[in-house]
Structure 1
Amino acid sequence: MSAPRTFRIAAIPADGVGAEVVAAGRAVLDALAQSSGGAWTFDWTEFPWGCGYYEKTGRMMDEDGLKILEGFDAIYFGAVGWPSVPDHVSLWGLRLRICQNFDQWANVRPVHFHPGVTSPLRKADDTALDWVVVRENSEGEYAGLGGRNLSGRGPGNEVALQTSLFTERGCERIIRFAFDLARTRPRRKVSSVTKSNAQQYGMVLWDEVFARVAEDYPDVETESVLVDAMSAKFVLHPEELSVVVASNLNADILSDLGSALAGSLGLAASANLNPQRRFPSMFEPVHGSAPDIAGLGLANPIGAIGSAALMLDHFGLADEAARVRKAIERTTASGVLTRDVGGTAGTDEVVAAVIEHLA
């Protein structure tokens, strides 16, 4: 018998309910590994980074944290943020530091409607809805360019500049990623989202690159939609969507809207990918740290478990990823739901049900 394939995973629970949902996902993955017959396993290393670490050290992660993480096959992340630390400090000090330095330029956020979960969208009652938001994750509105100036002129005179960055290379690689993903889906369609009527430089460049790349994919339907119109389309005509590709900010907002339509942000999974695999990719639920329910065992672990399935896909374990997704479906369909989606189950109950349904 050959030696088991071992995946080295860096676990960063970070803040609030992050600890609970990362533990939930780990339990599901370890149960799956145990059923592999020794074919593969996980080697976990957990790091205490986050707002609590910041309050002790003045840093969100170790100074050499990126160097440490480079040696792992993937990163499994919880949630970042706590009331005692400004959000821009916590986000830029940990999550964005990892994403940007590891060039995790493709953020994949599926919008999936689970059986047994009531959607606020009436159309979901009798229409099959399922799409994925592809978010440019390295530049755009979150490039971190700009500054605050002229404060020396006295109160009321300070100026803040926040500059978006759009490069032809950055636009092309995320748009091609979206087209390649569309070729794997039942409906081969890519919807590009910009606001190029008002943002006449960066987003016009995006539009031009999208039109050029589309010529290489004659088998894929395309449309270009302004972000305000796409927000309406998410609600009014979501059945027309398959792959939605957008800039960092626009895709961030639209994916949250999609998850809310599916029932809860607690259901939403995501993958921050470095497709070239020069650096480890990071997998995390979309929801925040939820300080109001942290430590109470009420957090919805479905987003984190779905993110674990995306990690399995990344490792080439497509059948195992499908097993996890099927177990999630069976769990929600059986009525084992947390409070955010109308149920009464706690985090541990959902985890136990998912593991039971892995068989």
Structure 2
Amino acid sequence: MQPVSDIDTPATITVISGNGVGPECVAAAVTILDAAGANIVWDEQQAGEGVFRRGVASGVPAETIESIRRNRVVLKGPLGTPVGYGEKSANVTLRKLFETYANVRPVRELPGVHTPFSGRGVDLVVVRENVEDLYAGIEHMQTPSVAQCLKLISRTGCEKIVRFAFELARAEGRHTVTCATKSNIMKLTEGELKRTFERIAGEYPDITAQHMIVDNAAHQLVKRPEQFDVIVTTNMNGDILSDLTSGLVGGLGFAPSANIGAEVAIFEAVHGSAPKYAGTNQINPSAVVLSAVAMLRHLGRFEVAERVEQALLVTLEEGGLTGDVVGYDKGLSTSDYTRRIIANLGRAPTRTNVRAHQPIRLPRHSATQGTAPVDQRIVGTDIFIQSTAPSSAIGPRLERLTDGSPFHLKMISNRGTRVYPPTGAITDEVDQHRCRFVLTNPHTTLHWQNIIDLQRRIAHHFDICHVERLLTIDGQPGYTRAQGED
């Protein structure tokens, strides 16, 4: 996607007003951009609550998808999902449909917005992988009492988000990128991001790269947030950390975001639709306005973006805040706040610096479906069974079932902890048991048929609810041990 940098050339943008307070906030941003001379043609489309009520299960109608495919840039308000309608979030659906893999959430201390962190110089960006991880939304009830959610992390996804984080740091003149993971516990999934980050960091010698365990990152963000510049992290971690960082600077009403992909970019406020406040004309539209500023930069229209951002900062320096921020009896209405920003176009803030921005060089990636290993071998299988019997009774039965097969039962775990052979520990058991079978002769060549034969034996006696291969990939185990497993 090529940026429309020529201000004399109209840019056609898909605009989705959204639900609840969305239409008021989006209208404010559109009015300000028009007044600033952004030269944008607004292609109005719908998604979210009203679309769900029309019977469109995704919340995103075909005409909206076609508009986005045509225009490639979107400004949108928050979308609601009414109870009893639809399934997946329309917000998440839009991000996934157009592979907007990078969620960018900048936070900075704003003038006139007082928080316990005022004066600390908070100015950072959370770069969140946006389409993988637990947000793949692949869940199953394994038994009536045990639910499972698959955490999917790909090497390609990690490479894309890590490179994007470094490129953003360069574009904004930032000096440090911190990778926040839970790789000390999830060594394969979260560990993939850590390993990718450490491998790619060497390509950016001008940027300081550091890794931090995500819980420590949360601790450090509250203790000393000014130490951070860019934080790159996985989807779930980024969702949590970015809401935390918004709280450092005044809340979600001041939290813009961008969802960037190779082909499409979606700009939106982080906050929700807040339907109880819809139509009150008291809502703070700053998050949507600042999202629109990011959109202008994405389009290459840096001068008008800076003009709008400066006008908003001048308004805040002069004490202009809406009723939902300072109280409805003394705050500005949404429309008055909008008019003040427009009146301040062309003025520069006196106490707040505006960070210089350069175009972000989006990483280029091949359409490869994965990396072919030099050597990939099946060395066993984990078969998950449903049973209310204790592992002490299940284990001997499974050992007898492996007679004459290439496998032996190595162990049984329950909720990730080895319970058979017994360790002497005291562990509660639920009705899902992971039974790990490995080769008796490690030099045997295994095929799926061997695993299927073993499943048939077990299925005569137990309900099987899940099966996984145990792989070695280029000589390294592609699976983790249970707690207490030798």
TM-score, length-normalised on structure 1? 0.89
Give the distance between the partners of 2:241 and 2:7, measured in 1 at CA.
44
1:74 aligns with 2:56: no
1:184 aligns with 2:180: no
1:17-67 deviation line (CA, Å, top 9, x unaligned): 11111111111111112xxxxxx6211121232212211334312145423
Give the distance between the partners of 2:92 and 2:221, measured in 1 at CA.
27
Give the distance between the partners of 2:197 and 2:123, measured in 1 at CA.
23
Q: In the alignment, is the contact (CA less than 8 A) between 1:15 and 1:82 conserved in 2? A: no
Q: From the CA coordinates, give the structure whose radius of gyration is larger.
A: 2
1:308 aligns with 2:272: no
Give the distance between the partners of 1:3 and 1:132, measured in 2 at CA.
27
Give 1:17's match in structure 2, choosing from 21, 31, 50: 21
Give the distance between the partners of 1:3 and 1:203, measured in 2 at CA.
43
User: Match for residue 283 of structure 2?
Assistant: 299
1:41-95 deviation line (CA, Å, top 9, x unaligned): 2111212322122113343121454233201141111001255356x8351xx22
After superposition, the Cα gap between the structure-2 partners of 1:356 and 1:64, relative to the gap in structure 1 and judged at 3 Å, is closer
Give the distance between the partners of 2:13 and 2:56, measured in 1 at CA.
26
User: Match for residue 128 of structure 1?
Assistant: 121
Using the TM superposition, name which of 185-194 and 310-319 deviates more: 185-194
Q: In the alignment, is the contact (CA less than 8 A) between 1:51 and 1:90 conserved in 2? A: no
User: Match for residue 37 of structure 1?
Assistant: none
User: Match for residue 357 of structure 2?
Assistant: none
Q: In the alignment, is the contact (CA less than 8 A) between 1:142 and 1:249 conserved in 2? A: yes
TM-aligned CA deviation for residue 185 of structure 1: 3.7
AA in 2 matched with 1:23:
A
User: Match for residue 54 of structure 1?
Assistant: 52
TM-aligned CA deviation for residue 186 of structure 1: 4.3
Give 2:97's match in structure 1, choosing from 80, 95, 101: 101
Alignment of 1:275-286 (within 5 A): 276=262, 278=263, 280-286=264-270
TM-score, length-normalised on structure 2? 0.66
Provide the aligned length of Structure 1 versus Structure 2: 337
TM-aligned CA deviation for residue 333 of structure 1: 0.9
**Structure 1 segments unaligned to the other structure (5+ residues):** 34-39, 151-156
Q: In the alignment, is the contact (CA less than 8 A) between 1:189 and 1:221 conserved in 2? A: yes
Partner-residue secondary structure (3-state), 2:180: strand
Partner-residue secondary structure (3-state), 1:14: coil
After superposition, the Cα gap between the structure-2 partners of 1:90 and 1:290, relative to the gap in structure 1 and judged at 3 Å, is farther
AA in 1 matched with 2:337:
V
TM-aligned CA deviation for residue 175 of structure 1: 0.6
TM-aligned CA deviation for residue 4 of structure 1: 3.4
Q: In the alignment, is the contact (CA less than 8 A) between 2:108 and 2:121 conserved in 1? A: no
Give 2:229's match in structure 1, choosing from 242, 246, 250: 242
- The one of the two structures with greater contact order (alpha-carbon pairs below 8 A, sep at least 6) is 1
AA in 2 matched with 1:20:
E
Identity level (%)? 36
AA in 2 matched with 1:62:
P
TM-aligned CA deviation for residue 215 of structure 1: 1.2
Q: Which runs of 4+ in 1 moved over 6 A?
A: none
Q: In the alignment, is the contact (CA less than 8 A) between 2:45 and 2:64 conserved in 1? A: no
Partner-residue secondary structure (3-state), 1:71: helix
Partner-residue secondary structure (3-state), 1:5: coil
User: Match for residue 154 of structure 1?
Assistant: none
Q: In the alignment, is the contact (CA less than 8 A) between 2:14 and 2:68 conserved in 1? A: yes
User: Match for residue 264 of structure 1?
Assistant: 251
User: Match for residue 138 of structure 2?
Assistant: 145
Give the distance between the partners of 1:331 and 1:90, measured in 2 at CA.
38
Alignment of 1:152-171 (within 5 A): 157-171=144-158
AA in 2 matched with 1:111:
V
Give the distance between the partners of 1:68 and 1:183, measured in 2 at CA.
32
Partner-residue secondary structure (3-state), 2:20: coil
Partner-residue secondary structure (3-state), 2:276: coil
Give the distance between the partners of 1:195 and 1:239, measured in 2 at CA.
22
Give the distance between the partners of 1:187 and 1:281, measured in 2 at CA.
22
1:327 aligns with 2:323: no
1:211 aligns with 2:198: yes
1:116 aligns with 2:109: no
1:221 aligns with 2:220: no
TM-aligned CA deviation for residue 149 of structure 1: 4.7
Q: Which has the higher helix share?
A: 1
Q: In the alignment, is the contact (CA less than 8 A) between 2:260 and 2:266 conserved in 1? A: yes
